[in-house]
Amino acid sequence: MRMRLMLLGGGNALGQALIRLGAEEDIGFLAPRPPEHGWDPASLTQLLDDTRPDALVNLAYYFDWFQAESVSEKRLAQQERSVERLAELCQHHNIILVQPSSYRVFDGSRATAYSEKDEPVPLGLRGQALWRIEQSVRATCPQHVLLRFGWLLDESIDGVLGRFLTRAEQPQELLLADDRRGNPTPVDDAARVILSVLKQLDCAAPLWGTYHYAGNEATTPLALGQAILTEAAQLHPLAVTAPTAQAHAARPDASEEPQHAVLACKKILHTFGIKPRAWRSGLPPLLDRFYRHG
């Protein structure tokens, strides 16, 4: 790798997966520790003025965007301002910006898979913030790759998977939507995609733009929950063996979670040659890490 790579958010689950995967191929990242209160415009300005990497992967707010149950409007607004500044700095210093986004930019009103050409209409605060962030990155920093991911799953104890497995340890009804659809995407798979993109950008291929990536085989939260419980029961005693079906409309997050969140991944395949991997094959190593670290 000729490019000097910087990673913001090296301490979170996706950042850790990226560092692990990079190490296997002798690809290293500058992964600076965030200031006590997180990255803000001033600290980012200082950082990039001092370091000047060739490419930057911004996973600084990964947990809030992909794993947290909810994020305050104030916090999202601060993150928006920071990414706006980051895009300006990347443009100023001629740094390539790799910026994650999400299926949440769509409202889920169409039953067919969303492509990069479909117009985003985000529902909740997070989706709206991500859509504004995407627009500011596009407008400010032409050398960007925006990666919209499907339902990301990682081993963090307080993430989506962690909250589900913790609840499954108590005898209770675990309600999951059976009429909602999306693509589960294990964090190792998302890291593989980011690394593949970086390797091709290192060859000076100007493949800027927005791309979708999500695990192969769309499914429902109910079927995903069943697959997780079946696999997890082999590693840890659980009180719940099967989730209970509930309608999307009855779910507490129905107003902000798209009912149909399937992403079409043809563009990333045709541009970068990145093939979607089956999410089921990513569950065993993910659950193994969860129970070993938890």
What's the whole-number mean pLDDT along residues 204-219?
94
pLDDT in tens, 258-281: 999 999 999 999 999 999 999 999
pLDDT in tens, 234-253: 999 999 999 999 999 999 99
pTM for this prediction: 0.97
Residue 190 CB contacts under 8 Å (≥ 6 apart), including other chains: 14, 17, 149, 152, 213
Q: Long-range contacts of range 60-63, CB-CB < 8 Å, 24 or more positions apart?
A: 60/8, 60/9, 60/34, 61/9, 62/9, 62/12, 62/13, 62/14, 62/15, 62/100, 63/12, 63/13, 63/156, 63/159
Domain ranges within the chain, ordered by starting residue:
5-154+185-217+262-279
pLDDT of residue 212 exceeding 70, the answer is yes
pLDDT in tens, 97-114: 999 999 999 999 999 999
Q: Per CATH, which fold does 5-154+185-217+262-279 belong to?
A: Rossmann fold (3.40.50)
Q: What is the pLDDT of residue 22?
A: 97
pLDDT in tens, 67-94: 999 999 999 999 999 999 999 999 999 9
Please report which confidence band the pLDDT of residue 205 belongs to, taking 50, 70 and 90 as the band edges: confident
Mean pLDDT of the chain: 96
Q: What is the pLDDT of residue 204?
A: 85
